Amino acid sequence: MRQIHITIELGAIAHQGKSFVNADQTKFANRRIITGIIAIIFYTG
């Protein structure tokens, strides 16, 4: 299960690198929250 979390972290880093514009930071934060929720579902499920 730890592998999924690592994949999400890498995906988040890659996404942050792509959109380094200030306007995209809120979008990135929202996406991070969504991926966090998905991770929780994976952990509990």
The string of pLDDT tens digits covering residues 1-45 is 566 676 777 777 666 555 555 556 677 778 888 888 888 888 786
Global pTM value: 0.39
7-12: long-range pairs with CB below 8 Å, 24+: 8/35, 8/36, 8/38, 8/39, 11/35
Domain ranges, ordered by start, for the chain: 2-44
User: Helix 22-44 and helix 2-18: axis angle, to 10°?
Assistant: 170
Q: If residue 31 lies in a helix (H) or strand (E), which one and from where to where?
A: helix 22-44
